[in-house]
Amino acid sequence: MNPPPFPDTAEQEPVFSDMGDGDSDEGEDIFLGSSKTGAESPSVPQLNIKAETTDLFAEQASSTAPTVGLGTGGSSNGVQSDDDNDLFSDAHVELPTENASSSTPSGPRPAATFIPGTADMQTKSMEQLEEEEAKDTFDVDVAVTNPEKVGDGMHAFMAYRVSTKSTLPVFRNKEFSVKRRFSDFLGLYEKLSIKQSLQGCIIPSPPEKSVVGMTKVKVGKDDSSSVEFVERRRAALERYLQRIVAHSVLLQDPDVREFLERDELPRAVNTQALSGAGFLKMINKASDAVNKMTIKMNESDTWFEDKFQEVENEEQQLRKLHIVVDSLVNHRKELCGNTAVFAKSMAMLGNSEDNTALSRALSQLAEVEDKMEQLHHDQATSDFFILAELLADYVRLLGTVRGCFGQRMRAWQRWQEAQSTLQRKREAEAKLLWANKPDKLQQAKEDITEWESRVTQYERDFDRISVTVRKEVLQFEKEKAKDFKFQIYKYLETMLQSQQRLIKFWEAFLPEAKAIA
């Protein structure tokens, strides 16, 4: 008797009907199904999203190019409204840009939105860039949005909405979202590290814990610094997830899928090791192993040695750059403050001025300077979120890369140790033969067999991890170049936008100045 077919499998690809136990590495590549996206979508209703949700990813950048949240503009805070329509509705280029200069809506969106006129050329190319990116990546988009404070007092925490859009059949739905808290992200990282780093994978690292930052949030401080903290964390979590799903191996990991899909996750508890300091310690321990290695292995080691050196150097350089950019960000914030104070002093001058036209002009000037303050603030934000965070991310990522080299080193050591153990066992056997103790001889022979197979296993492991690390590093470098290129492009756009806003402000003021008599 044929059992009735599962309603799902009748419409889905049969390959994925048993995805529940798809933990083995030898399973089918889940991307086999991606070419058959023409298949009907499952009849299972979309459970996790409100009925009126618009396409969350209308103009979402591709997953390899992290979207930058340029929020915290003006008086709006980083905490999103629940109205999903706001998220990306501005992202489409054709929206009127008249109110671009007066308000900066919160929420992540490409800087492309605000450029009038000549911008169409740039934004189209931005889309082209994104399309090209998309071809290289897998069809998964993730976004982290809507930070919401849950609970009160010191037990409060921020919950973030993780939204995924994918046509990959491995997921139950095309679009779905779940709520996750920060420790969930850390928990995911821990699980991945344990499993994957042994293979030499470069696992993107989550943002660091921050006791100070979170305490402010818990206590309920609603000032700009805690708003900035939340926005910074949200953006970092988003980049973290985007890097994970851009990684072919990690995307296949069931823990990742569970993280994205499952409604309730068990609380991750062992995340102490993942504080900023703990993370660094872990990395340094691993890469110390590389530095202590004195015996040259074989030719291909030159590649690994050179590459390791490169990575270390680059990490140092990026650290230095990060410090410089930090100082730039601080100066811009200072300029914000100075501009605001100057605006007030001009307003007061205007109030005391007898000459009507001059008085009006000075008051107008004060208003323009207020707008300039906003402009400087936006520039500082973009300096920070585009440049500073980019550098900070890569300092951490390069640390992770160093860690991978360390893992390879450990695999090599294990192999070498096994070889010495084997040698010892053989010597022991020889001694026993000479001493003529047949009963112990059997044990010795068994030992030798065991260790022989271990040596073979460890050698294979080492070869495999070497291959993986090499592949990972090359892929990482490619991604890094693309990432930097994309971010610089974004930065240029914000600068252009900034100048254009500035021109508008002053062109509006000029007639007022000329009217002074």
Per-residue three-class SS string for 233-263 = HHHHHHHHHHHHHCCHHHHCCHHHHHHHHCC
- The secondary structure of residue 17, as a DSSP letter, is T
Q: How far is Cα 37 from Cα 267, in angstroms, rounded to an integer? A: 34
Contact between 504 and 85 (Cβ < 8 Å): no
Closest approach, Cβ 492 to another protein, in A, equals: 5
Write down the least CB distance from residue 456 to another protein, Å: 32
> From CA 212, how far away is CA 77, in angstroms rounded?
19
What is the C-alpha to C-alpha distance for residues 98 and 102, in angstroms, rounded to an integer? 8
Structure-block tokens of residue 21:
């136990």
The whole-angstrom separation of Cα 147 and Cα 179 is: 10
Least separation, in Å, of the C-beta of 58 and another protein? 21
Residues 6+ apart with CB under 8 A from 32: 15
Under 8 Å between Cβ of 235 and 69: yes
Q: Of the two residues 346 and 432, which places its CB atom closer to another protein in the complex? A: 346
Considering the complex, state which of residue 273 and residue 341 has its C-beta at the smaller distance from another protein: 341
For residue 146, the SS3 value is strand
3-class secondary structure for 396-464? HHHHHHHHHHHHHHHHHHHHHHHHHHHHHHHHHHHHHHHHCCHHHHHHHHHHHHHHHHHHHHHHHHHHH
In the complex with another protein, the residue whose CB is nearer, 309 or 443, is: 309
- Residue 249 and residue 368 in contact, taking contact as beta carbons nearer than 8 Å: no
* Residues making contact with another protein (CB under 8 A): 118, 122, 125, 128-129, 310, 313-314, 317-318, 320-321, 324-325, 327-328, 331-332, 334-335, 338-339, 341-342, 344-346, 348-349, 352-355, 358, 361, 365, 474, 477-478, 480-481, 484-485, 488-489, 491-493, 495-496, 499-500, 502-503, 506-507, 509-510, 513-514, 516-517
Nearer to another protein by Cβ, of 218 and 482: the residue is: 482
Minimum CB distance to another protein smaller for 428 or for 502 = 502
**Least Cβ distance, residue 55 to another protein (angstroms):** 24
DSSP single-letter state for residue 91: T
Min dist. Cβ of residue 284 to another protein (A): 22
SS3 string, 352-395, reads: HCCCHHHHHHHHHHHHHHHHHHHHHHHHHHHHHHHHHHHHHHHH
Measured from the CB atom, is 187 or 200 closer to another protein?
A: 200
Residue 179: CB minimum distance to another protein, A: 37
Q: Quick one: 87 or 126, whose CB is closer to another protein?
A: 126
Burial class (CB in 10 A: 0-12, 13-18, 19+), 135: exposed
Nearer to another protein, 56 or 111 (CB): 111
**CA–CA separation, 49 vs 261, rounded Å?**
12
Q: How far is the CB of 468 from another protein (least distance, A)?
A: 17
In the complex, least distance from residue 398 CB atom to another protein, rounded to whole angstroms = 11
If the CB atoms of residues 175 and 483 are measured against another protein, the closer one turns out to be 483
For another protein, the closer CB: 248 or 499? 499
User: Least separation, in Å, of the C-beta of 299 and another protein?
Assistant: 16
DSSP 167: -
Q: Which is nearer to another protein, 229 or 385 (CB)?
A: 385
Minimum CB distance to another protein, residue 122 (Å)? 5
Rounded to whole angstroms, the Cα distance separating 332 from 74 reads 15
Distance, CA of 233 to CA of 252 (rounded, Å): 26
Chain-centroid distance of CA 440 in Å reads: 57
Instruction: Report the C-alpha gap between 368 and 372 in whole angstroms.
Output: 6
Beta carbons of 247 and 183 less than 8 angstroms apart: no
**Whole-number Å distance between alpha carbons of 262 and 255:** 10
109 vs 490 by CB, closer to another protein: 490
Q: Please report the DSSP string for 29-86 in residue order.
A: PGGGGGGGTTSPPPSS---SS-TT---TTTTPPPTTSPPPP----TT--SSPPS-HHH
Min dist CB 469 to another protein, Å, is 14
Total residues found in the chain within this entry: 517
Closest distance between another protein and the C-beta of residue 129, in Å? Answer: 8
